[in-house]
Structure 1
Amino acid sequence: MKIMDGNWHVRQNFDLNQPLEVFDARVKDGNLVIRATTWPMNDRANQINARLIILTFSAPMEGMIGVKSEHFRGGLDKGPHFDLYPDEGFAPEIEITDEFATLKSGNLTARVAMNGRWNLEFLRDGKPITGSDYKAGGHAIDHDDNDRTHMFERLSLGVGTKVYGLGERFTEFVKNGQMVDIWNRDGGANTDQAYKNIPFFLTNRGWGVFVNNPGRVEFEIGSEKVHKALFSVPGESLEYYVIDGPDPKGVIDRYTKLTGRPALPARWSFGLWLTTSFTTEYDEATVTGFLDGMAERDIPLHVFHFDCFWMRGLHWCDFEWDPETFPEPEAMLKRYKERGLNICVWINPYIAQESKLFDEGKENGYLIKRPDGSVWQWDRWQPGQAVVDFTNRQACDWYAGYLKDLVGQGVDCFKTDFGERIPVDVAYHDGSDAETMHNYYTFLYNKVVYEALQETKGEDEAVLFARSATTGGQQFPVHWGGDCYSDYESMAESLRGGLSLGLSGFGFWSHDIGGFEATAEADVYKRWCAFGLLSSHSRLHGSKSYRVPWLYDEEAVDVLRFFTKLKMRLMPTIYEAACEAPKTGLPVMRAMMLEFPEDRSCDALDRQYMLGEKLLVAPVLDRAGNAEIYLPKGRWTHLLSGEEVEGGSWRVENHDFMSLPLYVRPSSLIVWGAVDDKPDYDYAEGALFALYALEDGKTAKATIFADKGVKTQALAVSRDGNTLTVNASDADRPWRLRLQNVTSVASAGDAGIAETAEGVILEGKGNITVTL
C-alpha cells in the first residue's frame, strides 16, 4: 500500500501518526521498550492530546531482532498466529544511554537515537545495513475506506541491494520496483497473483525481513520510494523481524529455525510421477495402459497420481472412487503397488452439496459458517460448495478419518489442491478473525493432511503435493507451481516461481512437466522433461490431454527415459542436498545468488539454478536449442560431455534434446549411484565418487545418506600441488573414486588403479595419498 503521493505529499484523505522523537526508553521483561511521540514534547502542555507509537524490541535468537510497533493496544486479538520457535535460552544485551538505546543480538544491533528526530538503525558488527528514519514508519488512517487503520514501516535499501522471495512469485525474480500483495489467490502461474504468499524477503546483502502477520501484508519494494522497502498491515499493530545472515544462506537458516524447517520427504517421492491429467477420460484400463506403456519403453515410473475424477463429478470431495470407472479400487491399487508404484490421489478442502460429507459437516458444525450461523456456500468450482472449518478440532479428525480410510485402501500420499479461495465474510469455530485466516487457512489444511499421513504411513513417509501455502507450510512438503501454460515462457515463469519459493524457506518444489494448460509442442515437452527431471521432484501432469511421451513423438520417449535414469543415478547427490533442508532450510533448487553471494553477476539470474551446491542447471528455453548461461569463476565441467570450460563469463551454447547446460561446480565431489531404475536404493552399494576440477588448496567433500537422512559413508579429497589426500570417514567400507579428466597418476598407495576414457578410477579402503 502506498502511503505517499510522490515524494512530498501524503495520499489524499490519509492521516498519519509517525514517530518524531523518543519520549523515553526502558527495559521491560527482557525487552527494550521505547515510547515515541508524534509531535515535540517541549513542555508538559504538549502531553495533552498527545499521540504515542510504542515500539518493543526483542530478540528471539542470535542474529535476529523483533520490532513490535503499536498505536492502540486495546483491540481484540482473535488470531490466528504463526507457530514460531524462538531460542528460549537466548537473551539480548540492552543498553540505554543519553545518546542511544540499543538492543544487541549477536552481531546484529538495533540502535535508536535518544535525541533529535526519530532514527532507528540496524547494524551488523557496528556498520548500518538498514534502518527507519524520520517519517519512514507509523500509523495511517484511510478516510476513503471507512477510517480503516494501518501500521507501516519503511526500511532503507542501500545502493545495489536486491530483494527476493515473498513466496512463489512468477513476476520478475528481483522484487525491486514491485508491489507485492500477500494474499493467497488461485491466479495461475503467469500473473502477479500467487498461491503461496510468504511475508518474508531476503536481500543479496545478507539480511532479510519477516513480517509476523498471517493476514494481508502489502509490500512496496522500491515501488513507493525507490530506495525503501515498505510493508503495511491493517490494524493498530505491526510486528516484524530483521534477520542477519550475514549471508543469504544464513538468513534462510535463521528464518526457518524460527518458523519451522522443511521435513525430509520419503526417497520414493524423488522418482518420476505420472498422472491421469485433469479433465481427460480415464478408467482402470486407461491407467493400466499408461503403466504398461512406460514399462514397455523402459521408462522408470515410481508414483501414479489420480486427479480429480477418481471421484464422481459434482461430488468433490466425498472421498469415494467413482464406481463406474473404478469399481474395485482396493484390488486395483494392490495390483499397481505390486508393480512397485506409490499412489497419490487428488483432494481439496471443499465439500460439494452433493457430497455425503455435506450433510455430515452441516449437522456437526464442521463447515465454515456465515455470521448468522448458516453454512457458507457458493457455486464456484462445485455446486453449493462449502469449506471445511479446520479451526474445529473435531472437524479436523472427521476430515482426516476419510483420508486414513484411503490410506488403508492403498493410497500413499495426497495432492492437496486449492486452499486459496477462502472467504472473509464468515465466522470460524474458534473465533479467529476471518480476514487474517484467509492466508493461514492453507497451513491448517495441509497440516491436517500431513499429520494424517504421519499417523498412518509413519513419521518419515508423509508426502504431500501441495499448491497453496503460507509461512510455516514449508514443514509439509512437497509443493508444486500450479497451473502454468505449455510453452517456453511458462517454463521460465515456473522456474522464477520455484526459485522465489526456495528463497522463502521452502526446500522442495516441483512443476507440471509439459505444462498444464493446453498441449505443448513436442520440442517444449522434451525440453521440459530435462528441466523436470533435474528438479527436486518430477511430475508429468496436464489439463485436457495426457502427458505420456509417445503421444508427442518417439524422441520424447528417449528423452524422458534418459533424464529419468540420469536422475536415478544422481540420487545420492540430490539426496545429499535434500538432507540439508531439515538442518538449515536450504532448498534443493537454489538461486545462483544463494550459492554465489559475492558474484554480482549472479544477482538477477533466474533462468539457471544450482541443484544442491554442486550442479548448475540451465533449462533450454529456445526452440533452436540455444541457451545463454553464466558460469562463475573457476573451471566447470559439463556433466554429460566431460568438457571443461573456464568460468567468469557468459556462454551461448546449443544443445540437442539429450543435453542441456549441466555443469559441475569446480572442486566438487559428485556421487554416482549404481541403480538407474528407482530412487530409493542403497546409494553406497556400488557408488562411484567422481572428483571434478579440484583446485590447489581446496577440499571436495561428499556424504552418502541412507533412508531418513542417516549418514552411511563420506569421502573428502584435498589437493596440495600434485598431491591428493583421500580421507574416508568409514575405514572399513571400500570406495571407488574417479579423477575426472585425469589420464594417469604416479602413485596411489594401496589403491587399485584403472584408466578409463573419463578419468582414472581408484579403488581402496581408508585414507590414501595420490600423486598426480
Structure 2
Amino acid sequence: MTKHNREIRLLPGEYWWGGRAADGKSMPYGLSPFGADLAASNENNQACPLLLSSKGRYVWCEEPFSFRFEDGVLTVSGEGGDLVFGEGHGTLREAFRYVSRTFFPPVPILPEELLFSAPQYNLWIELLYEPTQEKVLAYAKRVLAHGMPPGVIMIDDNWHEPYGNWRFHSGRFPDPKRMVEELHAMGFQVMLWVCPFISPDSMAFRKLEPEGLLLQDREGKTAIRKWWNGHSAVLDCTNPKAVEWIHGQLDALQAEYGIDGFKLDAGDLEFYEPDDRSHAPATRNGHCEAWAKVGLKYRLNEYRACWKLAGQPLVQRLKDKRHEWQGNGLDSVIPDGLAQGLLGYAYTCPDMIGGGEYSSFATGRLDAELFVRYAQCSALFPMMQFSAAPWRVLNEEHLRYCVEAARLHARIGSEIVELARQATVSGEPILRHMAYEFPEEGLETVQDQFMLGGSLLVAPVVEKGARARKVAFPAGTWEGDDGSVVAGPAIREIDVPLGRLPYYRKLPI
C-alpha cells in the first residue's frame, strides 16, 4: 500500500478549511495547532479527504489521511491513494470549484424540493422511543394549528419491529396506510428512520446471516457491534445483494404505505473495524461510504454520517447538538454548516432546533431564549428542522418568534430551491462562508454570519442575552430586514431584539 507524507509551508495570510464538518469551530486552520486523522473518526458527521486554502491551494486524496497544522506548516500523511496537492487557483472559491469539477462533480439530480421550501419536523425529541400512529397525527395537526407550514415529517426510531425488520409495529401503528394518507392530505411528506443494524434475535437476522449479507469480524464470525441502542449485527453494504435486500424493504414501505423517503442513520466509523471481513474489501471509511450510497435511490433522504460522496443528491444533517450556547451547541451550528459546504455538501441541514441531543431536554431546564435563537439561526440555512414542539416548551411570546422563523423560511423557500437547483450544476455550496464570496475583504475568521447564495447576508445571534451584535458588511449596498441600508465595506453594530433575525440583501449596482 502506498504511503505518503508531505509538508506544505503556509503562505503569509493563508487560511485552510476541510477534513471533518464537526471541526468547523477550529476552522480556519493555520491560526493555532490543530490535527485530525480522517481514518480514525468522522466525529459522527460528514468527512471528506479534502483541504482547501484561501490562497487557492488544495489537498485531495481518494483515501483518508491525517493532517496537522503547526508552526506554519501543514503536514499530511496516510496510506493508500495518490495524495494530490494543487495550487494556482487564486481564491478559496476558485480552488473549491476546481476540486469539485475534478474530484466530485455534481450530479444533476435535486433532492426532494419540500426539504428546502418548508420546515421539517422530526419527532425524535417529542416521542423518543415511543412513537405511535396517534401521536404522529397529533403532532402534525398541532403544527398546522399553530400556523406553521406543513413540510417533511420524520418518524424516528422504534416505529418498526426489531432492527432490520422494517415493518410497522402493529401495536403502535395499527393502520399506517391511513396515517400516511392523512398526513399527505395535511400537506406533509413522510420519512421513516432506518439504520444498517440487524437485531440478532430476529427474522431478518435468521434470513441474512446464512446468505452472507452481514459484516464479519476478523475471525469470520458475524460481527456484533455495540451502538447507542444495544448490540446488533451490521448489514454488509459492500455486498450488492445486501443493498438489494434493504432496497427491497424500503421499496415495499413506499409501495404498501405511501412512504415518501428515509432518514438513514448511523454508518459512523466507530461501528466498523479495520480488519472486518466483508464482501468487498473496505476500510472503515469505505463501509461508511457504502451505507451512504444506499440512500442515493431516494430523492427524499437524510444522512448524518458520511464519507466522501460530495456532489451527490444526499441531504446531510449536522451531528446532534446540545441544548446549550457554547460547546457542541448553538455556537457550533454556523461554523459546522460552513464546513459542510466547503467539503462539497451543498444540501445541508442544521441539527434539530434547540438541539437534537435528547438528554439535554431531560433536565427540564429549557432555555427559551436559546430555543428561539436556534430557530432563527436555522431559518435561512438551506433547510431547518424542528423536533421539540415549540408550542409545548415555550410561552406565547417565544412560540411566536419560532413561528415567524418557520414562516420566513417558507417565504424564502423558492429562492433556496433555486440555489439548490444551481448546485446540481455548479456543485457550489448554498450556505457560503463570507470569504468564499468576498475573498479580498479579510473575512476568513468570521464564524457567526454567512451568505445564503451570493446575495443574502445572514447574521444570527448566537450569544446569550445579546441585544446588539456587530456585522461585517462587504463592499456593496446592503438592505436589511429592518429597512436599513448599509454601504460596505463596514463593520456596524446593530440592534437584535429577541424577535429579530438580521439579514441583508445585496442590492444590484
TM-score normalised by length of structure 2: 0.91
Q: Call closer, same or farther: CA 1:280–1:547 in 2, change over 3 Å.
A: farther
Q: 1:441 aligns with which of 287, 296, 306?
A: 287
1:157 paired residue number = 10
Q: 2:188 aligns with which of 334, 341, 348?
A: 341
Q: Call closer, same or farther: CA 1:359–1:244 in 2, change over 3 Å.
A: farther
Output the CA distance in 1 between the equivalents of 2:98 and 2:203: 45
2:133 paired residue number = 284
Q: Call closer, same or farther: CA 1:468–1:474 in 2, change over 3 Å.
A: farther
1:162, distance to aligned residue in structure 2 (A): 0.5
**Which deviates further from its counterpart, 620-629 or 489-498?**
620-629
1:272, distance to aligned residue in structure 2 (A): 1.0
**Which deviates further from its counterpart, 201-210 or 657-666?**
657-666
2:396 paired residue number = 554
Contact 2:37 2:66 in 1 (8 A): yes
- Are 2:342 and 1:503 equivalent residues in the alignment? yes
- Are 2:201 and 1:378 equivalent residues in the alignment? no
Q: Call closer, same or farther: CA 1:194–1:245 in 2, change over 3 Å.
A: farther
Counterparts of residues 251-330 of structure 1 (less than 5 Å):
251-257=95-101, 258-261=103-106, 263-270=109-116, 271-278=118-125, 279=128, 281-312=130-161, 315-330=162-177
2:216 paired residue number = 369
1:394, distance to aligned residue in structure 2 (A): 0.9
2:89 paired residue number = 245
Q: 1:536 aligns with which of 379, 382, 386?
A: 382
1:331 paired residue number = 178
Q: Call closer, same or farther: CA 1:348–1:334 in 2, change over 3 Å.
A: same
Contact 1:487 1:524 in 2 (8 A): yes
What do residues 680-727 of structure 1 show as CA deviations (whole Å, max 9, x unaligned)?
Answer: xxxxxxxxxxxxxxx3xxxxxxxxxxxxxxxxxxxxxxxxxxxxxxxx
Secondary structure at 2:172 match in 1: coil
- Are 2:263 and 1:388 equivalent residues in the alignment? no
Q: 2:37 aligns with which of 177, 181, 205?
A: 181
Output the CA distance in 1 between the equivalents of 2:139 and 2:188: 13
2:434 paired residue number = 592
1:619 paired residue number = 460
Output the CA distance in 2 between the equivalents of 1:253 and 1:206: 10
Contact 1:212 1:241 in 2 (8 A): no
- Are 2:52 and 1:211 equivalent residues in the alignment? no
What do residues 600-619 of structure 1 show as CA deviations (whole Å, max 9, x unaligned)?
Answer: 1x111111000111111111
1:503, distance to aligned residue in structure 2 (A): 0.8
Output the CA distance in 2 between the equivalents of 1:491 and 1:161: 27
Contact 1:255 1:505 in 2 (8 A): no
1:473, distance to aligned residue in structure 2 (A): 4.3
Q: 1:646 aligns with which of 458, 483, 487?
A: 487
1:20 paired residue number = none
- Are 2:298 and 1:465 equivalent residues in the alignment? no
Output the CA distance in 2 between the equivalents of 1:355 and 1:513: 35
Q: 2:503 aligns with which of 650, 655, 662?
A: 662
Output the CA distance in 2 between the equivalents of 1:265 and 1:153: 38
Contact 1:252 1:584 in 2 (8 A): no
Contact 1:463 1:476 in 2 (8 A): no
Bigger RCO (CA 8 Å, 6+ sep) = 2
Q: Which runs of 5+ in 1 are unaligned?
A: 1-74, 76-148, 187-192, 454-461, 668-694, 696-772
Q: Which runs of 5+ in 2 are unaligned?
A: none
- Are 2:25 and 1:171 equivalent residues in the alignment? yes
The AA in structure 2 aligned to 1:261 is P
Q: Call closer, same or farther: CA 1:356–1:556 in 2, change over 3 Å.
A: farther
1:515 paired residue number = 355
Output the CA distance in 1 between the equivalents of 2:111 and 2:90: 29
What do residues 494-525 of structure 1 show as CA deviations (whole Å, max 9, x unaligned)?
Answer: 22111011111110211221112213411111
The AA in structure 1 aligned to 2:367 is E
Output the CA distance in 1 between the equivalents of 2:138 and 2:267: 33
Contact 1:184 1:468 in 2 (8 A): no
The AA in structure 1 aligned to 2:153 is F
Contact 1:631 1:649 in 2 (8 A): yes
What do residues 341-383 of structure 1 show as CA deviations (whole Å, max 9, x unaligned)?
Answer: 1001111111121332111110100001123322111343344
Secondary structure at 2:216 match in 1: coil
The AA in structure 2 aligned to 1:416 is L
1:261, distance to aligned residue in structure 2 (A): 1.3
1:405, distance to aligned residue in structure 2 (A): 0.9
Output the CA distance in 1 between the equivalents of 2:456 and 2:418: 12
1:138 paired residue number = none
1:535, distance to aligned residue in structure 2 (A): 0.7
Output the CA distance in 2 between the equivalents of 1:260 and 1:353: 40
1:280, distance to aligned residue in structure 2 (A): 5.5
More strand by share: 1
2:324 paired residue number = 487
The AA in structure 2 aligned to 1:500 is A
Output the CA distance in 2 between the equivalents of 1:150 and 1:555: 59
Contact 2:17 2:51 in 1 (8 A): yes
Output the CA distance in 2 between the equivalents of 1:165 and 1:185: 14
Output the CA distance in 1 between the equivalents of 2:419 and 2:457: 13
What do residues 277-330 of structure 1 show as CA deviations (whole Å, max 9, x unaligned)?
Answer: 152643222222212212122111211110102124xx2232121222111111
Output the CA distance in 2 between the equivalents of 1:592 and 1:395: 43
Q: 2:73 aligns with which of 225, 228, 238?
A: 228
Aligned residues: CA RMSD: 2.0
Task: Find the structure with the greater CA-based Rg.
Answer: 1
1:438, distance to aligned residue in structure 2 (A): 0.7
What do residues 69-107 of structure 1 show as CA deviations (whole Å, max 9, x unaligned)?
Answer: xxxxxx5xxxxxxxxxxxxxxxxxxxxxxxxxxxxxxxx
Contact 1:163 1:203 in 2 (8 A): yes
Secondary structure at 1:414 match in 2: strand
Contact 1:305 1:343 in 2 (8 A): yes
Secondary structure at 1:648 match in 2: strand
Identity of counterpart residues, as a percentage? 22
Output the CA distance in 2 between the equivalents of 1:382 and 1:293: 29
Secondary structure at 2:308 match in 1: coil
1:125 paired residue number = none
- List 4+ stretches of structure 1 deviating above 6 A: none
1:157, distance to aligned residue in structure 2 (A): 1.4
Secondary structure at 2:306 match in 1: coil
Contact 2:129 2:157 in 1 (8 A): no
Q: 1:417 aligns with which of 265, 270, 284?
A: 265
The AA in structure 2 aligned to 1:255 is V
- Are 2:54 and 1:199 equivalent residues in the alignment? no
Contact 1:166 1:200 in 2 (8 A): yes
1:567, distance to aligned residue in structure 2 (A): 2.1
Q: 1:583 aligns with which of 413, 425, 430?
A: 425
What do residues 93-147 of structure 1 show as CA deviations (whole Å, max 9, x unaligned)?
Answer: xxxxxxxxxxxxxxxxxxxxxxxxxxxxxxxxxxxxxxxxxxxxxxxxxxxxxxx
TM-score normalised by length of structure 1: 0.61
Output the CA distance in 2 between the equivalents of 1:623 and 1:448: 40
Q: Call closer, same or farther: CA 1:560–1:163 in 2, change over 3 Å.
A: same
Contact 2:285 2:307 in 1 (8 A): yes
1:29 paired residue number = none
Output the CA distance in 2 between the equivalents of 1:591 and 1:371: 43
Q: Call closer, same or farther: CA 1:558–1:280 in 2, change over 3 Å.
A: farther
Contact 1:299 1:560 in 2 (8 A): no
How many pairs align? 488
1:475 paired residue number = 312
1:551, distance to aligned residue in structure 2 (A): 2.3
Output the CA distance in 2 between the equivalents of 1:382 and 1:302: 28
